[in-house]
C-alpha cells in the first residue's frame, strides 16, 4: 500500500483535539492522583515500592500489548497508508524495548516489597516465587521471551529475515504469559478495571491475529490462481 499520509489541512484540528483530550484527562485525573500519592506518602511510606511496582507492571503490559498490536498492524499493512514503514517499525521496536525495561523494573522492585519480599533467585528463576508461583512464572517466562525478541532486532541482518520472523512469533507467547501473570498473580486482578484492560488487549490481539491469518491465506490463494487481493486499508 502506498504511503499517502494525513491531509495537512487538518493538522491544526488534529493537534488541537489531541491537546484538548490530554487536557481533559489531566484535569480530571491529576488532582486525584496527586492527592492519593501525597496521602500514601504521608500515611505509609513502606508500601510505595509496591505502588511503583504495580505501576511499572501495568505500564509494561500496555507497552507489550501495544507492541504486539502494532506489529500486527504492520504485517497487515494497515498503517502503510498514513505512516512511513521505517517510522512505524521503529515505534514497534521502541514499544517492545520500553515494555521489556518496565517489566525488569517491575520484577526487581519485588525485592523491596515489605509485604511479600522476593529474593534475587525467586525473581529470576520461574517456579520459586513464594506467592502464586505459577502466575509469577508465567510473567518471568514472558520477560525472557520478550528479551529474545528484543535481541533479535539487533541481529536481524545476521540471522536473516526468515529466522527473525520466526523468533518474532515468540511475542505472542510473551503476551499470553504476561496476561496470565496479571490475572493469576496480580493483587488487583479481581478489579473490574483490571479485567477490562486484560480483556480489551486480548480481544484486540486475537482479532488482528485472525485478520492477519485470513489475509495471508487469501493472498496465497490469489497467487495460485493468478488473481489479486486488495491490501488492507486503514
Which is more confident, 69 or 230? Answer: 69
pTM score, two decimals?
0.76
Using one digit for the tens of pLDDT, what is the confidence trace for 43-92?
666 677 777 888 899 999 999 999 998 888 887 777 666 666 666 677 88
Q: What percent of the chain has pLDDT over 90?
A: 33
Using one digit for the tens of pLDDT, what is the confidence trace for 105-132?
998 888 887 777 788 899 999 999 988 8
d(CA 141, CA 128): 13
Using one digit for the tens of pLDDT, what is the confidence trace for 154-181?
998 899 988 988 998 999 999 999 999 9
Query: Helix 48-75 to helix 170-185 angle, to the nearest 10 degrees?
Result: 150
Which grid coordinates belong to 67? 507492541
Amino acid at each position: 500500500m502506498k504511503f499517502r499520509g494525513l491531509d495537512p489541512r487538518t493538522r491544526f484540528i488534529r493537534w488541537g483535539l489531541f491537546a484538548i483530550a490530554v487536557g481533559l484527562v489531566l484535569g480530571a485525573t491529576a488532582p486525584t492522583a496527586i492527592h492519593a500519592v501525597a496521602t500514601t506518602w504521608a500515611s505509609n511510606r513502606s508500601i510505595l515500592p509496591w505502588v511503583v511496582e504495580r505501576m511499572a507492571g501495568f505500564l509494561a503490559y500496555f507497552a507489550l500489548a501495544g507492541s504486539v498490536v502494532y506489529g500486527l498492524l504492520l504485517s497487515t499493512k494497515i498503517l502503510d497508508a498514513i505512516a512511513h514503514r521505517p517510522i512505524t517499525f521503529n515505534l514497534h521496536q521502541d514499544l517492545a524495548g520500553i515494555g521489556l525495561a518496565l517489566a525488569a523494573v517491575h520484577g526487581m522492585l519485588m525485592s523491596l516489597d515489605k509485604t511479600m519480599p522476593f529474593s534475587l533467585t525467586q525473581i529470576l528463576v520461574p517456579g520459586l516465587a513464594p506467592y502464586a508461583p505459577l502466575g509469577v512464572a508465567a510473567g518471568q517466562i514472558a520477560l525472557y521471551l520478550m528479551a529474545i525478541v528484543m535481541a533479535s532486532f539487533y541481529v536481524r541482518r545476521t540471522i536473516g529475515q526468515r529466522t527473525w520472523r520466526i523468533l518474532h512469533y515468540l511475542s505472542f507467547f510473551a503476551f499470553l504469559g504476561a496476561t496470565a501473570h496479571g490475572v493469576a498473580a496480580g493483587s488487583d486482578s479481581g478489579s473490574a478495571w483490571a479485567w477490562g484492560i486484560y480483556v480489551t488487549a486480548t480481544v484486540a490481539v486475537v482479532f488482528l491475529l485472525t485478520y492477519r491469518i485470513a489475509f495471508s491465506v487469501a493472498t496465497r490463494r490469489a497467487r495460485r490462481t493468478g488473481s489479486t487481493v486488495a491490501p488492507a486499508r486503514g
